[in-house]
Amino acid sequence: MSRVQLTLALARKDWRLFWADRRAALLCFVVPVLLAATFGAIFHRPASGANPRLPVVVVVEDGGPFTRQVANEVLASQRLDAREASRAEAAAQVAERRAVAVVLPAGFERLKLWEPGSTQERPELVLLHHPNATGERQWCEGAVQELVMKCVARETFGASDRESAPPFKVAAEAVSPYPRTQFNSYSHSFCGMSIQYLLFWGMESGLLLLRERRRGAWARLRAAAVPLSCVIAGKALATGSVALLQVLVTFGVGYVAFGVTIGGSLVGFVLLACAACALAAATGLLVAALGASEARARSVSVLLILGVSMLGGLWVPAFLLPGWARDVSLALPTTWAMRGLETVTWQGGGLGAALPSAAAVAGFALALLAVAALRLRLTERAIREGRV
Amino acid sequence: MARSSRFGLHFPRSFAIPRPRKFPRRGFLMPLPVALSLIDVSVYYGARAALERVSLDVRRGEIVGLLGPNGSGKSTTLAVAAGVLDPATGAVTVEGRARGVDPAAFARRVGLVPQEPALYDELTALDNLRFFGELYGLAGTELRRRAARALARVKLSDRARDRVGTFSGGLKQRLNLAAALLHDPPVLLLDEPTAALDPASRDALFADLARFRDDGHAVLLTTHHIDEAESGCDRVAVLETGKLVACGAPGELLRPRAAERAVLYGHLRARPPRYLERAIRHRLAPGAALEITGRRLRLSADTSEDLGLALALLLAEGVELEAYRTPAGALERALREPTEQTEPTPC
């Protein structure tokens, strides 16, 4: 029998073993879809409709008319979801991180008398915020400053609403190297969870091989003089084909139910999917080659997979990570797989844009495969020679 | 035929196996060809010698039993013979071929039946056989024909499409044997094939082995149950700490001794917990010994009175026996009193 036929026989056996437990096989496809849908829903923002508004509580502690005017401006702002409350109520809302509080304290009315070049002590406006809400505080500060200056301009210079408006327009423009970019939070989560669960499937496949090597069936394989290269190729083929099916199912459901589309190169997507499946197969072989026992191999693998998933930007976009983490992540295959898949899905990138990522992922897969094969070969030789 | 013990248990009178012979016996018309040959084989696990200069021939049409206590090198001998382990020195040939020259050709001539059923519980019996057949180059109609024949040989045709996970220990062992026979190897190697079997399944297995022997297979099996070697093997090779200390037909190993040990072999309903096993051993009379392998039991003592007391102690502790018997005891004596020798015994 040729080596190809032997490899196919071994792969068929693994394929049958995978489908023997139908429920486990089903979960292998359902779990990534469920997680991707959940992550997508959490980060989902409708493309059209009202802009998000910051929840703000206004506390008015000065009874003057100018202060009232400022409070009314804040309450009427289209950028803030503001309501008036007492200081105690505001403090409670802030403590629960449900809002930022704008306090107009006693003496704020003095701002009405302000003149350009005045050296008098400036009245205070207090912002109360949760310690972990610096971003919201800055958002609120910017919006409130604009509103207060509008009131001051009206009071000091008698300017109308139109005259007190900013003397410029803001033109916001999303910039991307790809013209067809259309962000969809589900695209990001389906790309991320697909890659993460490919690695988890690779790990499970590796653990199966680890289990097999401790069972009598492996002795029969050794007695049948099956070359190790066929065992490795058969395992990689079976793992890779199940992984490819997993990608098809995940993105199929994403397309039908959540509008996840391949906006860019389809060939690029196929290349990246194949490279990611090869990465899953190599991960499995590495787990089988380096794992001393199933329990230990599982614990270490889960930790590593979750680590590279997080650093690779599979859970949240990579730009949210600190700078050092973004630098480190360049040495991880997950980063490149994620970049590539995002390029060909919601960013709408072409084949040229996907190729570097596909090549990087394939390179990582080959490197891991080489390490696994070498280690398995050394172990098998040691077993044959009675050194293990 | 069965008889009742004083404990009300039923057990067979003997394990004698009928031997219809189709293959010419040794010394009849012509000598049988040697199928498996171990020549001066040594194996080391690190610095420890697992086998030391073991030489053994197994001819077509004979069953050779490798006998010895745990750790004597029986499984290592089988692993070397199967080509799973490389010997440090010496050579192994099957029908004159060494493994190093053509591993695949060597493998096609050997069928290995590991101690634990070497099967995939998740697959059906037929899928298991198809897979193992493919490893030996079988395919298509030929594979289907051989799988059906192997299942029929071990009387499992009606369970072909059942998952192996649903099989009993005896059925798994039969399928384990079928998987080794699929490519019709001249040499069949079985590692402790009866360890997990009840008496009826064990008798059935030995009847199967006798049939294969008569079909011209060379069978080498390991056991540490002397009664099996005595009644089921044509020749017996006794291993002790990696050395072959005795070899010959069971009858040739008979040596009259002045002092006999009383021995009882039994089959347990369930293996007792380890702590109970240790507690019973601790309370046995001096000179009495208890060995449990899987669900097999061997109880021995200097006198039959001590043996009776040991058995009573065992039963009082709640250990249940499905069946038991006392052997003729000939090989038992030979094995318990190994010969002092410096030169390895060829066999």
Residue A173 covered by a domain: no
Q: Does A187 share its domain with A328?
A: yes
Relative to beta strand B110-113, strand B187-191 is: parallel
Which residues of chain B does CATH 3.30.70.100 include?
A: 261-328
Count of A–B CB contacts within 8 Å?
Answer: 88
A214 and chain B in contact, CB less than 8 A: no
Residue A49 covered by a domain: no
pLDDT at residue number B223 = 87
Closest partner residue to A220 (CB to CB) among B46, B127, B132 is: B132
What is the per-residue DSSP string for A68-106?
Answer: HHHHHHHHH-SSEEEEE--HHHHHHHHHTTS-EEEEE-T
Rounding to the nearest 10 degrees, give the CA dihedral for residues B303, B305, B311, B317. -120
pLDDT at residue number A379 = 92
Last residue of a domain, one of A157, A174, A197: A157
Closest residue in chain B to residue A223, using alpha carbons only: B84
Relative to beta strand B262-268, strand B296-301 is: antiparallel
CATH fold group of domain B17-248: Rossmann fold (3.40.50)
Name every chain B residue with its beta carbon within 8 A of the beta carbon of A11.
none
CB contact under 8 A, B86 and A384: yes
Q: Does A283 share its domain with A330?
A: yes
Q: Does A200 share its domain with A314?
A: yes
pLDDT at residue number B10 = 37
Residue A115 covered by a domain: yes
Name every chain B residue with its beta carbon within 8 A of the beta carbon of A385.
86, 88
Q: Does A66 share its domain with A207?
A: no
Q: Which domain holds residue A141?
A: 54-157
Distance from CA of A237 to the nearest CA of B (A): 16
Residues A151-167 pLDDT 10s: 988 888 887 877 777 78
Residue type, A355: L
Instruction: Share the mean pLDDT of chain A.
Output: 91
B181 and chain A in contact, CB less than 8 A: no
Would you say residue A50 has pLDDT above 80? no
Q: A276 is written with which tokens?
A: 């990611």
What is the per-residue DSSP string for B262-281?
Answer: EEEEEEESSPPPHHHHHHHH
Looking up residue A93, the CATH number of its domain turns out to be: 3.40.1710.10
Which residues of chain B does CATH 3.40.50.300 include?
A: 17-248
**Residue of B131, B163, B187 best to disrupt the A interface, most CBs of A under 10 A:** B131
- Per the structure, how many domains does chain A have? 2
**Considering only CA atoms, which of A96, A88, A100 is closest in space to residue A129?**
A100
CB contact under 8 A, B123 and A215: no
Would you say residue A333 has pLDDT above 90? yes
Q: Could you tell me the pTM of the whole model?
A: 0.75
Q: What is the DSSP letter of B115?
A: S
Say which residue, B205 or A342, is predicted with more confidence: A342
B107 and chain A in contact, CB less than 8 A: yes
Last residue of a domain, one of A157, A192, A227: A157
Q: Which of B26-40, B102-116, B200-214 has the highest mean pLDDT?
A: B102-116
Say which residue, B116 or A61, is predicted with more confidence: A61
Tell me the pLDDT band of B9, cut-offs 50, 70 and 90: very low
Which of A275-284, B61-70, B155-164, B302-311 is predicted least confidently? Answer: B302-311
**Residue of A13, A14, A17, A212 best to disrupt the B interface, most CBs of B under 10 A:** A13
pLDDT at residue number B27 = 44
Tell me the pLDDT band of A70, cut-offs 50, 70 and 90: very high
For residue B83, what are the CA distances in angstroms to A108, A384, B286?
93, 9, 43
CA dist A268 and A262 (Å) reads: 10
Say which residue, A386 or B221, is predicted with more confidence: B221
Would you say residue A132 has pLDDT above 60? yes
Q: For B96, left (φ over 0), alpha (ψ -120 to 50), or beta? A: left
ipTM > 0.85 (yes/no): no
CB contact under 8 A, A220 and B179: yes
Q: Does A31 share its domain with A61?
A: no
Q: Does A38 share its domain with A101?
A: no
CATH number of this structure's domain B261-328, picked from the four choices 3.40.1110.10, 3.40.50.720, 3.40.47.10, 3.30.70.100: 3.30.70.100
pLDDT at residue number B332 = 55
**Is residue A218 within 8 Å of A302, Cβ to Cβ?**
no
Q: Does A126 share its domain with A205?
A: no
**Is residue B212 within 8 Å of B113, Cβ to Cβ?**
no
Name every chain B residue with its beta carbon within 8 A of the beta carbon of A7.
none
Closest residue in chain A to residue B49, using alpha carbons only: A386
Name every chain A residue with its beta carbon within 8 A of the beta carbon of B120.
13, 17, 217
How many residues in chain B? 347
SS3 state of residue A211:
helix
Tell me the pLDDT band of A57, cut-offs 50, 70 and 90: very high
Closest residue in chain B to residue A22, using alpha carbons only: B122
CB contact under 8 A, B139 and A225: no
